[in-house]
């Protein structure tokens, strides 16, 4: 597994962008290191069809467990080969080849993980591997309160954390969200630490991240169950809403400027019985939204918990005449339920269903109507730190 993480990390670091892209330009020639490694990976796995891993069924991501299981076995085999090579080099070069924290080589899987991505912390908790987390962000603590036990280093988020504070936790794997500090990533890789940068957009991407993270820590079977449970819950909701009237739904992840929620939220809105208005993840104007006359308005601002001032924003934006405001179908959903691409999305889906069809699904955890006072579930940080 270590070899695979190396390859994926550097390939993710490039994020599919050209060498001239500003993000890659900051890394100089290092931005293209992944090209060679990605080619090596293709050689190792040349008989696996990436396009065959996933299929779409009725708009909901469907996971092909047979193919994924075969891939994960190959990943683990590749990791064992990588470990044997490293051990041989250890015999030849002694202490010169020891990783900086001197603890990685006695295990196939990383034992000390620095999580700069709340969704990764949730995933590790869901597969019973939270003990591996030695450092995380305050946003991770918002969605997984157990990490506040005093045994973990609390660090900044992916795009403000410094390499020095991450290295202080002595991790053998760092998991971060995009965007992240390229300079910090370079220092982490120079120190010989694996780096995994994830940037999911769809439900399929999220399933892949769960499979990858769980396999990385040797919990592939538990990860497969988490994926299966999520899919069953989503499919069950789709059956419940299939015969209900569809409603026009505008859902935003940020308020100034107005930014529509991510593609995975658009998928969940569809499952919950709504038609997502606008382009997922894109900025739009208040006038554009008003012209589409949403029947349901949902705000899930990153980092704001459930403390979005619904009455204030609908008034300031000139949305008083929209169908949603006239029928009081304006809601806030706690951002960790929609903006954390992990198993918590199942609760977010239930909240969406409660907002779109309140007569059918009623009150749901994390859902607040414009007619209700805000309940301070957690401190509002009012920045984009809660996205992933």
What lies within 8 Å, CB to CB, of 370 at 6+ separation is 310, 311, 314, 325, 328, 330, 331
Contact 59, 267 (CB under 8 A): yes
Q: 281 and 185 in one domain?
A: no
Q: Is residue 151 part of a domain?
A: no
Q: Maximum distance among all alpha carbons in the chain?
A: 75
In this prediction, residues 244-265 reach a mean pLDDT of 97
Average pLDDT score over the chain: 78
Contact 343, 126 (CB under 8 A): yes
Cis peptide before 179 (omega within 30 of 0): yes
Q: What are residue 333's DSSP bridge partners?
A: 367
**Residue 231: predicted pLDDT:** 98
Q: Structural domain of residue 294, as residue ranges?
A: 244-386
Looking from the CA of 210 toward its CB, the CA atoms found within 13 Å total 31
User: b/e map of 179-210 (b: 16 or more CB within 10 Å)?
Assistant: ebbbebbbbbbebebbbbbbbbebbbbbbbbb
Q: Is residue 320 part of a domain?
A: yes
**Residue 107: predicted pLDDT:** 60
**Residue 44: predicted pLDDT:** 42
DSSP 101-129: TS-STT-SS-SSEEE--HHHHHHHHHTT-
Q: 280 and 185 in one domain?
A: no
The pTM (predicted TM-score) of the whole model is 0.71
In this prediction, residues 223-245 reach a mean pLDDT of 98
Q: Is 86 a residue whose pLDDT tops 90?
A: no
Q: Is residue 45 part of a domain?
A: yes
Q: 200 and 84 in one domain?
A: yes
Categorize the per-residue pLDDT at 344 as very low, low, confident or very high, splitting at 50, 70 and 90: very high
Q: 256 and 193 in one domain?
A: no
Q: 59 and 203 in one domain?
A: yes
Q: 222 and 101 in one domain?
A: yes
**Residue 74: predicted pLDDT:** 61
Boundary (domain end) residue, out of 230, 256, 271: 230
Query: To 5 degrees, how large is the angle CA 160–CA 162–CA 165?
Result: 125
What lies within 8 Å, CB to CB, of 207 at 6+ separation is 54, 61, 63, 227, 230, 231
Q: 218 and 94 in one domain?
A: yes
In this prediction, residues 283-312 reach a mean pLDDT of 94
In CATH, what number is assigned to the domain containing residue 255? 3.40.50.1980
Q: Is 8 a residue whose pLDDT tops 80?
A: no
Q: In degrees to the nearest 10, what's the CA dihedral of 235, 237, 241, 246?
A: -90
Q: How many domains does the chain have?
A: 2
Q: Is residue 195 part of a domain?
A: yes
Q: 376 and 295 in one domain?
A: yes
Categorize the per-residue pLDDT at 276 as very low, low, confident or very high, splitting at 50, 70 and 90: very high
Beta-carbon neighbour count of residue 8 at 10 Å? 22
Q: Is residue 150 part of a domain?
A: no
Contact 173, 114 (CB under 8 A): yes
Q: Is residue 156 part of a domain?
A: no
Q: 209 and 94 in one domain?
A: yes
**Residue 72: predicted pLDDT:** 62
337 sits in which H/E element: helix 335-338
């Amino acid at each position: 597994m270590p070899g695979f993480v190396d390859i994926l990390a550097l390939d993710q670091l490039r994020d599919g962008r050209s060498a001239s892209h500003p993000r890659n330009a900051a890394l100089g020639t290092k931005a293209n290191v992944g090209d060679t490694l990605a080619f090596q990976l293709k050689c190792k796995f040349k008989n696996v069809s990436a396009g065959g891993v996933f299929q779409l069924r009725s708009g909901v991501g469907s996971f092909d467990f047979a193919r994924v299981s075969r891939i994960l076995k190959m990943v683990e085999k590749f990791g064992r080969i990588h470990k044997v090579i490293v051990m041989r080099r250890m015999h030849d070069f002694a202490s010169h080849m020891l990783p900086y924290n001197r603890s990685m080589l006695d295990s196939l899987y990383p034992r000390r993980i620095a999580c700069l991505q709340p969704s990764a912390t949730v995933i590790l908790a869901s597969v019973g591997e939270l003990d591996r987390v030695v450092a995380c962000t305050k946003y991770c603590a918002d969605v997984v309160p157990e990490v506040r036990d005093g045994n973990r280093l609390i660090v900044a988020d992916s795009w403000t954390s410094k390499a020095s504070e991450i290295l202080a936790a002595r991790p053998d794997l760092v998991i971060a969200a995009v965007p992240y500090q390229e300079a910090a990533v370079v220092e982490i890789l120079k120190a010989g630490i694996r780096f995994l940068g994830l940037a999911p957009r769809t439900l399929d991407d999220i399933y892949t991240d769960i499979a990858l993270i769980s396999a990385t820590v040797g919990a592939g079977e538990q990860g497969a169950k988490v994926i299966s449970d999520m899919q069953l819950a989503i499919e069950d909701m789709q059956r419940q809403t299939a015969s209900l009237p569809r409603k026009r739904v505008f859902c935003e992840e940020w308020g100034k400027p107005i930014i529509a929620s991510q593609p995975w939220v658009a998928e969940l809105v569809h499952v919950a019985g709504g038609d997502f208005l606008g382009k997922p993840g894109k900025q739009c104007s208040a006038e554009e939204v008003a012209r589409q006359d949403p029947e349901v308005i949902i705000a899930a601002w990153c980092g704001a918990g459930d403390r979005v001032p619904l009455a204030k924003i609908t008034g300031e934006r000139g949305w008083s005449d929209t169908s949603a405001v006239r029928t009081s179908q304006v809601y806030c959903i706690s951002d960790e339920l929609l903006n954390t691409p992990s198993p918590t999305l199942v609760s977010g889906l239930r909240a969406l269903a409660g907002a779109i069809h309140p007569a059918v699904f009623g009150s749901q955890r994390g859902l607040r109507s414009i007619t209700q006072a805000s309940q301070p579930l957690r401190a509002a940080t009012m920045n984009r730190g809660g996205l992933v």
